[in-house]
Amino acid sequence: MSLGSRIIDLRKQKKWGRDELGKIIGTSGAMIGKYERNEMTPSVEIAKKIAEALEVSLDYLVGSTSFVLKDKQMLKRLQDINNLPDKEKDCLITTIDHFIKASKINQM
């Protein structure tokens, strides 16, 4: 899926017009249309503003990942985990892995 297609899909999920998204990020609806039609590629700064407005990661917006993280509290938790000392981070990741494995087994 192209950057433009992702912008269209996410904007429509929010029930926003191009002008509304443009106003939120500080550009015009016409420019949003050019991004959506892949006629122009936004700068990294503008793409970041679009991602923030649409509440997705920049990685998702540009197609580097298919994982959409819309829960800001979860993102904060992941950032906090990343900042832990390695030993504590490894222990927490191991615990999370065990819970995921147990959940998958229970679903079988």
- pLDDT tens, residue order, the chain (108 aa): 899 999 999 999 999 999 999 999 999 999 999 999 999 999 999 999 999 999 888 888 988 776 676 667 777 888 899 999 999 999 999 999 999 999 999 998
Cβ-Cβ contacts under 8 Å for 35 (sequence gap 6 or more):
3, 4, 7, 41, 42, 50
In the block, tokens 């991004």 appear at 35
**Extended strands (E) in the chain:** none
User: Ramachandran region of residue 26, left (φ > 0), alpha (ψ -120 to 50) or beta?
Assistant: left
Q: Residue 97: what pLDDT?
A: 95
pLDDT of 69 reads: 65
CA-CA distance, 33 to 52, in Å (whole number)?
A: 18
pLDDT value at position 70? 63
Amino acid at 87: K
Q: What is the pTM of this model?
A: 0.70
